[in-house]
Structure 1
Amino acid sequence: MKPRFPWGHATHPDWRMAAALCLAQVEAFSRSGGVGPPTLGFLYLTDHYGDQAPEILALMRERTGVTHWVGALGMGIAAGSAEYIDEPAMAVMLADYSTDEFQVFSGMARPRPRDARTPNGRRASWTAMVHGDSSTPDLPELVRDMAHKVASGHLAGGLSSSRHRNTMIADQVLAGGLSGVMLSEDIALSTRITQGCRPIGPVHRVTQASGQLLHTLDNNPALDVLLRDIGVDPDALARKPDGDDEDSRKQQTASTVRMLQGTFIGVGEGDAFKRGDYVVRPLIGVDPGARALAVGSELDTADHVAFCRRDREAARADLVRACTELRETIENETGSLSAARGAIYISCLGRTGALLGGPSAEMQLLQRQLGDIPLIGFFANGEIHHNQLFAQTGVLTIFT
């Protein structure tokens, strides 16, 4: 097995002290692990260090000898079992891949063509780790376009989250658009997404929709389908309220809305529900009279949907599910989880705090599931998986 990636993380009001603590951990890991000369660095900073990002990058490049760097700013970062939220912190991890096996790209350094090959004939543009600026117009279209530029059609990454300028790192500190690192087919990795929710019924086909209004599923009224999925008799709500005045109808609608609180709708096509990368959208309204639902995105009759619940139990169970699938994939391919060299975890800023159980609960659960592999990442303003932009999710990538 190849040695694991050197890594380190620290918090300190003075960025120089935090950088020195990170570098000391990296150097100690390098001395003990027998890793080859590093060639690619991952660097995540909280936005407390936003103004100092160019200096931090220059120092990391000078002290490590690594020329190529990717990363992003976040209002929080993650490393090991720790979450650094709203405090000055940084995390770094170094990989020792051949420079033929990756290419850092940005708006000023275009990625290699989709059909490019490495010297050994493998596909050079197989997948990519990407970071983006959430203020960029037409970002979902940019993500889909970027996915078309890699042979696997699969991306992993997230959007910078900052109270100031959204900032990414792609061999330099920059803003706007998408940037990151293109990875060749020679680099073995596995990725999973965790939605933080669980389906509460089967997958249904959209049979009538207009914009954000969902009329029918499987040719049945959408509200009736939802009620059956949560174990409520639709006929009971179909009865007219006591009194036929406007106040009675409003009370009936409010009662239905309260009953559906915490219910979301997962939207996807084809095998999206099997892969777990369906898009979760909120239910924003109900029309008991028309038996229709209003959804937080436009729908098409080609879509499939499943109703979901998002709560602590569901979020923890889905994160365990993602880790279990990754462990099984790695063990089947390599024989042991010890083949894991390092990992990147990009989680939604909205998942911090109580959703997973309290401060650092998400990273502690990850570490219990994966062991002590090098693990860094950040809390994003949107997550990227496969060819889509998500919210309220976590994207875990393990390099083997």
Structure 2
Amino acid sequence: MSGQFPWAHATHPDWRMSASLCLAQIEQASRSGAGAAATLGFLYLTDHHAAEAGEILAFLRERTGVTHWTGAIGVGIAAGMAEYIDEPAMALMLADFAPDDFQVFSGAARPPGPQARTPDGRRAAWTALVHADSATPDLPDLIQDMCGKLAGATVFGGVSSSRHPQAMIADTVLSGGLSGVVFSENVAVASRVSQSCRPIGPAHRITESSGRRLNRLDGEPALDVLLHDMGMPEGLPPARAAAPGQPSAAIQMLQGTFVGMGSGQAFAHGDYQIRPLIGVDPRAGALAIGTDLEEADHVVFCRRDRGAAQADLIRACTALRETIESAHGGMDRVRGALYISCLGRTGTLFGGPSAEMHLVQQQLGDLPLIGLYANGEIFKDRLYWYAGVLAVFL
């Protein structure tokens, strides 16, 4: 293996034109010609091309000679410093992994087990790129199950945001369940997650909850703890003193508030899931969260705005860059990258169209980068919302 992965992206109503433009870019970027040394193709399509995805895949396979492909279909895709939202577009990248170091999987093709070994004795199921169909039930459980099948227990990827039944690519175009690629221990991947939020206070221990209802934190009414973290000015009426049916000024302040939830141990490493605050019970001092609290035993309240989103993405990129420089010999070792971001992060959150992708490139440099705007993001053993997952191949 040598050099960066050839990659390309294009937009055009006619998929043949987009595919041809992409192949021309690939051929220009690769001294050996399009797909001459490649063994695996990454492909992301907007769902304007969903009905033609099978034809696109067959065309690219014939023109590049690459047999194995993985990817997903969504409302939006990303490439370099560009984002394509709700318009016909495609992005692809070709990798030259050793054939024994990866395996495309789906419901019809099982991945290797955690005990499997490559011919050189390395663990065959170390990390995995996972794409999921949003219509699949029990996705969090399936993701955890997938993580348990890996010796390295590391998963990254996202949930298709396609409005078409065809949602994923795993050597064919398919729907339902999980699909993707399992990589061996020989494939070095560094990854990070950004959640676009900034904590507004310390982590709190959950002392009473039920389902999605958060009743008490650190022994106090959850709403009172939140208002304290927000630094509610003195003189505002207590949250539970408002007239029935009339939200107090304090309750109005809660708009745009999110809840980070997880275990105490996870919080020590900044590893928790962000969920929206969807309601309050002023009289009981309780909060309603956008998902069941399940095994979470701690929460932290967060705000999401442009400044928080930019700062957290910079933090994730900085941590990733430091890992690459300290453990892998520097950024010149980067061969290519995938970025799975939430469709809900597009628009004005980062300052305008493509601002998120510009920020990633500013932090990590000009590197081969394609990705998907997803309906849920996958990192480690969890399903995230409103997150960005960046994975770099070295």
Q: Which category describes the TM-score, using the shorter chain as reference length?
A: over 0.9
Q: Distance in 2 between matches of 1:350 and 1:398?
A: 23
Please state how far the C-alpha of 1:279 moved relative to its aligned partner: 1.3
Q: Which residue of 2 aligns with 1:18?
A: 18
Alignment of 1:315-326 (within 5 A): 315-326=309-320
Deviation per CA, 1:242-292: give whole Å up to 9, x if none: xxxxx82332x3433211111111001144335444111111222232222
Alignment of 1:212-223 (within 5 A): 212-223=212-223
Q: Distance in 2 between matches of 1:91 and 1:301?
A: 38
The worse-fitting range, judged by mean Cα deviation, of 354-363 and 276-285 is 276-285
Aligned residues: 394
Q: Which residue of 2 aligns with 1:27?
A: 27
With over 3 angstroms needed to count, the CA separation of the structure-2 counterparts of 1:270 and 1:63, relative to structure 1, is farther
Q: Distance in 2 between matches of 1:66 and 1:301?
A: 43
| Contact 2:35 2:94 (8 Å CA) reproduced | no
Deviation per CA, 1:99-118: give whole Å up to 9, x if none: 11000000000111111111
Q: Which residue of 2 aligns with 1:60?
A: 60
Matched, 1:250 2:233: no
Matched, 1:165 2:165: yes
Q: Which letter maps to 2:30?
A: S
| Contact 1:352 1:359 (8 Å CA) reproduced | yes
Q: Distance in 2 between matches of 1:7 and 1:72?
A: 16
With over 3 angstroms needed to count, the CA separation of the structure-2 counterparts of 1:74 and 1:32, relative to structure 1, is same
Q: Distance in 2 between matches of 1:4 and 1:270?
A: 40
Alignment of 1:381-400 (within 5 A): 381-400=375-394
Q: Which residue of 2 aligns with 1:309?
A: 303
Deviation per CA, 1:10-57: give whole Å up to 9, x if none: 111111111011011111111189997110110011111111111111
| Contact 2:36 2:64 (8 Å CA) reproduced | no
Q: Distance in 1 between matches of 2:289 and 2:160?
A: 26
Q: Which residue of 2 aligns with 1:72?
A: 72
Matched, 1:361 2:352: no
Provide the secondary structure at the position in 1 that maps to 2:244. Answer: helix
Please state how far the C-alpha of 1:394 moved relative to its aligned partner: 0.7
TM-score (normalizing by structure 1): 0.94
Q: Distance in 2 between matches of 1:278 and 1:80?
A: 28
Q: Which residue of 1 aligns with 2:120?
A: 120
Q: Distance in 1 between matches of 2:74 and 2:389?
A: 15
Which protein is richer in helix relative to its size? 1
The worse-fitting range, judged by mean Cα deviation, of 292-301 and 33-42 is 33-42
Alignment of 1:328-343 (within 5 A): 328-343=322-337
Alignment of 1:221-240 (within 5 A): 221-232=221-232, 237-238=237-238
| Contact 1:205 1:302 (8 Å CA) reproduced | no
Deviation per CA, 1:139-191: give whole Å up to 9, x if none: 11111111111112221011111222241000111110000000111100111
Please state how far the C-alpha of 1:95 moved relative to its aligned partner: 0.7
Alignment of 1:140-179 (within 5 A): 140-179=140-179
Q: Distance in 2 between matches of 1:34 and 1:47?
A: 25
| Contact 1:140 1:388 (8 Å CA) reproduced | yes
Q: Which letter maps to 1:183?
A: F
Q: Which residue of 2 aligns with 1:244?
A: none
| Contact 1:224 1:234 (8 Å CA) reproduced | no
Q: Which residue of 1 aligns with 2:134?
A: 134
Q: Identity over aligned residues, as a percent? A: 63
| Contact 1:382 1:392 (8 Å CA) reproduced | yes
| Contact 1:266 1:305 (8 Å CA) reproduced | yes
